[in-house]
Structure 1
């Protein structure tokens, strides 16, 4: 078995929103690959040999533009015909999964030089849409099977239980977890809000100092700006205002080049550029959020973290740097909670980028930027400062659905044999979840909830996950009256654990309506 090593990384940002400056994702990725080749430290004359040796191209699926064959297009643009090309499924876990896959492929000598890349041009695309213009003519012709290129993040909820209740988007599901996690920890609503504000203010500070962040160089908002709900920071779904939601309207790309130590030596790439993939692991929870065991833990996060450390022959104390995915505050909170790290005062950094609000969401590709930054940070560690020099990246996708964790280090694995497979099953199936009552009626208790708000700041709709008192079965519901809606939207007393009545909507089959008891004590 060969030893995989990262030899080059790069990030690219196109900050211009002018339509004439709009550059498509493929071009941003190409520039990132070229910059990563230069990052290896090779003399300019030696770079063509490395470039021509690229025989594996993995691409994170872009939200921005419908390509027929994006990996093939990138191979064509860099002048190679790789033995292996792969275009990922949608999901923020993809960068870490692809990174692990390429490291494994290299270690088995199935390829010599692998490229992992991804990128978005959602800011440029949005600017074009706002001007009611198509992107510049130079953009690759879109795939003919796509009806519109101006709705990259739209989703069809289908006709399942979530769709009946109009719930299931990320803006809904992550708040369901935050509210349940708060109640499980016996925090007050105020304490929970202050914790999230403090956390994201710390993250913002990191992003403002990262030259590749979308908000780099911008005015600091701080705790007051992030925590004050108002016109510029309206409530989206309780308890998260706008500045606690991922911001995806960016033009960012990144690339990572992996080869073997053997070929790196042959090319004479300086060893101070080498960073070693040590292992990875990932799994997912049920796609339907209502089929999960609870809303204050994530078995897929816990198991992915544990398995990645185990397969890398490390413990959490061996890790010097973390980057936890952070589309909403609940993800780094759950990761910290599982690893026993203080959420607001961790002994080690838990973000290198600053989160998807301040750094920028970058579609599915956020964690690619975390990997490239991790490589740079690990390179910069001196022997005397940190003899272990290991970093961990947690990549999350879906609605707290899919997780993938990779571990990198300044030194190779102790056994020098890269893991032959992801040690985890595709999905966690051994943690029991409550039975579902699709036509629930009777006395019930709120398991978790959230409220979606209109643009004018008034509450639109409540989403309730509840349990029937008579049999403990779980159900979904919307608010059944205005008092319940406004009580849930107020942010006053804790709603999780409150009792009430659920009934079926006579006008919409399968839709539950929940009304809280007016004088229920907590």
Structure 2
């Protein structure tokens, strides 16, 4: 389908008005796409002027009256309004001009509280204006206009302004709001019963695996290598000075990709078996079409397409590592990974029509990385919504963990950053090529204002840049056939990725990043040598904390002049083009390795607040074993997440703190993180001038923070006190996760309430199942419980307080709405009642102790077992038996349930897990794809018409018949060896 791609962001009211006028005649998705949303002229006049203003429209078949009925139905905003995340109090039922109300929303994944005032209300229009965190002002106007032919044109006008989010950050937020508006209009059409958006992209086709070519002789090493060994054959970087005019992100990305192709002495890529991967730009959004646009501009026909998540600096290495993995398994021959930002051009020149692109997008690209929200409710309440605040807190926590004084720590991080500026001064692609001293970096000045202690501006990522970078990867066979000189080859040895405890305030300690340590350990095991032995290193460097904490985890020295921790100069000096920095980092590491034959390089990346991490290891030497993209996070052993609160009355011990500054350089607020005796983390924010002054003059780590009508702090400079609390408040997780090779054992761990499921446990179960599904080596799981009961269902006390155990993706109880695709076995001891029985029924196989009982007692409480219990009984039992269990609510003993065919085996009391392990042991040796497809047929056949059933099962089974695992299974049988399954 033909798509016209446009995005509008602005930096000034006059620019906004001019740009709105310039886009009136161009739709985002093509005027021929009936029902699609398109840019429109704002139809609403707001009481105040906004620095960012835009409008989106769509045509619907409903009447204006029907449209406005839905617009004013606030109780159902969650059905269509993408930004909406709930009402802090009952939603408005009727409105008048001047009425006020509050709304919870999520912008760029961040929870915010918006306070609205109704400024316009007519029969066919509504306007609300309000405020949000960080002094932000916003407005939403909705109008319903009769269409010329029939139906209604719905126009949504948005305004946004924040003095704290000027320049690029304001443009990013505006772009996110525009994207959400487009999505909301698509949802609104569905709510009205209109057909779904005709521009929806088809699913990405599955790759075809050809026969493997002959091995390739690698002349520099004198070794013969697997033909599907991934090698980087070209890198390219571009830095543009906006004094020379405006360049848009796609132009920069194309230029970087072309340089990478030229570097590979291979100016064009073949039409088939080439993947084009892009890192999403934030200065100008191309949506899901960015990779297709890049392929079109590079004249690559029929490419495979991939993109990383919309937000996250880990994206480039996730794309590189996944492409290397696809090459390793014969799915593609070439891959180009490219990205760029043009915030400098945007700030200097604004935008124009040349930033638009037409393209044909054949299918939805492969999406890599997580777009999960970055903040929880407590962080929102405290205003922890920007990286500078989060990293300021984490840096001070690191100082406390190390026992450093304020002066000593400042000297270390400014000296570290001075070394980075030295590297940047010698990097031809760096944005700031000036060697600075530690004093230059740490001393606040008019041009180097304080941001959040301990950081000045010269210790933060510089996103106002015009930069692009690209990497080209090929299989050894494809590179050899294309004639790319082997001196250009840099082998991709391994990649890895992992997440921290997702929300910063819930991490066990704020001063450490154990996921990076887990990545280092996994890479070391795969490489057969310490990852710290790498000769050339580029650690992601948005803030000093990111480098300092990662270096500690990877056993890297901070001050070895022979082994600097950057090859670019870092995001402050080399430049920080948001999502795409790590492409520059890997390109620079690759160039350094290539210039030193026999050497090894390490590049790392992270996203959000040191939340999601990735790493890549490269060398001019061939790898000792096949490349792997290691999913490390799924098997990390983490302490239980800390409970966190933003409301506490009483005292606690200050763990860390930061003073934030306004754009004019004046202290604005102090934010504390303090630990209660039981390990709960209390985060708070104060604008009290005396408290701010105290935080600037005194080391408050280990001080007593008190809230009894007013926030006060006493004492300080006691890091040992804090470290003692941190180390002594390790709690058992509510869900224990144990790995035994391909087997994952999940154990419900709330024996004090008979393993009843609360919201926290439901979320933990969902995450554990997601990890199990994502782990390429995981084959089968067992779900069991600690103590005398398997599970007795929902935690009714928590539910009575409004905390229902509903996970966002897998539904009630964290599993019943969407069980895993991989096989899972329930090992039941004691009672599996109510939701506990439903959880067992959501599993594929059940092993139960002889004295175990199953039952759905919901009718005794006026309820229905709606988490799949009644439904699954009806699917698996004769109608009279299903009704007996559903209507009587009486428990049934395991032997009887076994006779009915609901469970697979009855075990002696205390041995259910042992028997479940034995059953899992019979499943685990089999091909994972075959298991998944067999399970799919068993689960879906009920809905197939009799005359289509055989054909449908054949269609599903054929995926296995033509898979690499089928070839491997036949070969292993012939060669009398154990198969090496890949799941492909």
Q: TM-score range by the shorter chain?
A: 0.7 to 0.9
Residues matched between the structures, number:
478
Q: Aligned to 1:515, which of 712, 716, 721?
A: 712
Task: Check conservation: 1:280, 1:311, Cα contact below 8 A.
Answer: no
Task: Answer yes or no: is 1:84 the counterpart of 2:308.
Answer: no
Q: Aligned to 1:242, which of 448, 457, 478?
A: 457
Q: Aligned to 2:318, which of 78, 84, 97?
A: 97
Task: Answer yes or no: is 1:29 the counterpart of 2:269.
Answer: no
2:373 & 2:507 partners in 1: Cα distance? 21
1:220 & 1:318 partners in 2: Cα distance? 27
Task: Answer yes or no: is 1:495 the counterpart of 2:700.
Answer: yes
2:345 & 2:279 partners in 1: Cα distance? 19
Per the TM alignment, residue 176 of structure 1 is displaced from its structure 2 partner at its CA by: 0.8
1:221 & 1:497 partners in 2: Cα distance? 34
Task: Answer yes or no: is 1:57 the counterpart of 2:273.
Answer: no
Task: Answer yes or no: is 1:479 the counterpart of 2:686.
Answer: yes
Per the TM alignment, residue 439 of structure 1 is displaced from its structure 2 partner at its CA by: 2.9
Task: Answer yes or no: is 1:201 the counterpart of 2:418.
Answer: yes
Q: Could you say which structure has the greater relative contact order, defined with CA pairs below 8 angstroms and 6 or more residues apart?
A: 1
CA RMSD of superposed structures (Å) = 2.3
Moved over 6 A (4+): 155-159
Name the residue aligned to 2:265. Answer: 41
Per the TM alignment, residue 455 of structure 1 is displaced from its structure 2 partner at its CA by: 3.2
Name the residue aligned to 2:354. Answer: 138
Name the residue aligned to 1:74. Answer: 294
Could you say if the C-alpha distance between residues 156 and 280 of structure 1 is closer, same or farther in structure 2, counting changes exceeding 3 Å? closer
1:456 & 1:254 partners in 2: Cα distance? 34
3-state DSSP of counterpart to 2:576: coil
Task: Check conservation: 1:287, 1:401, Cα contact below 8 A.
Answer: yes
2:250 & 2:341 partners in 1: Cα distance? 9
Q: Where does 1:380-459 land on structure 2 (aligned, <5 Å)?
A: 380-382=595-597, 387=598, 389-415=599-625, 417-419=626-628, 421-425=629-633, 430-459=638-667
* TM-score with structure 1 setting the length: 0.86
Per the TM alignment, residue 521 of structure 1 is displaced from its structure 2 partner at its CA by: 7.3
1:117-174 per-residue CA deviation (whole Å, 9 max, x = no partner) reads 111111001113xxxxx4232111699xxxxxxxxxxx99888111111113101111
**Max radius of gyration: which structure?**
2
Name the residue aligned to 2:505. Answer: 290
Q: Aligned to 1:11, which of 222, 237, 253?
A: 237
3-state DSSP of counterpart to 2:644: coil
1:414-439 per-residue CA deviation (whole Å, 9 max, x = no partner) reads 12x222x4231359563223322453
Q: Where does 1:83-482 land on structure 2 (aligned, <5 Å)?
A: 83-89=303-309, 90-128=311-349, 134-140=350-356, 160-216=377-433, 219-345=434-560, 347-382=562-597, 387=598, 389-415=599-625, 417-419=626-628, 421-425=629-633, 430-469=638-677, 471-479=678-686, 481-482=688-689
2:428 & 2:385 partners in 1: Cα distance? 34
1:331 & 1:185 partners in 2: Cα distance? 15
Per the TM alignment, residue 59 of structure 1 is displaced from its structure 2 partner at its CA by: 0.6
Name the residue aligned to 1:149. Answer: none
1:171 & 1:427 partners in 2: Cα distance? 30
Could you say if the C-alpha distance between residues 157 and 142 of structure 1 is closer, same or farther in structure 2, counting changes exceeding 3 Å? farther
1:454 & 1:67 partners in 2: Cα distance? 32
Per the TM alignment, residue 308 of structure 1 is displaced from its structure 2 partner at its CA by: 2.6
1:467 & 1:290 partners in 2: Cα distance? 11
3-state DSSP of counterpart to 1:364: helix
1:51 & 1:35 partners in 2: Cα distance? 17
1:345-386 per-residue CA deviation (whole Å, 9 max, x = no partner) reads 36522110011100000111111011111111111114xxxx
2:302 & 2:632 partners in 1: Cα distance? 29
Per the TM alignment, residue 102 of structure 1 is displaced from its structure 2 partner at its CA by: 0.5
Per the TM alignment, residue 335 of structure 1 is displaced from its structure 2 partner at its CA by: 1.7
Per the TM alignment, residue 460 of structure 1 is displaced from its structure 2 partner at its CA by: 0.7
Per the TM alignment, residue 60 of structure 1 is displaced from its structure 2 partner at its CA by: 0.8
2:676 & 2:313 partners in 1: Cα distance? 34
3-state DSSP of counterpart to 1:370: helix
1:347 & 1:17 partners in 2: Cα distance? 36
3-state DSSP of counterpart to 1:199: helix
3-state DSSP of counterpart to 1:422: strand
2:229 & 2:593 partners in 1: Cα distance? 18
Could you say if the C-alpha distance between residues 342 and 328 of structure 1 is closer, same or farther in structure 2, counting changes exceeding 3 Å? same
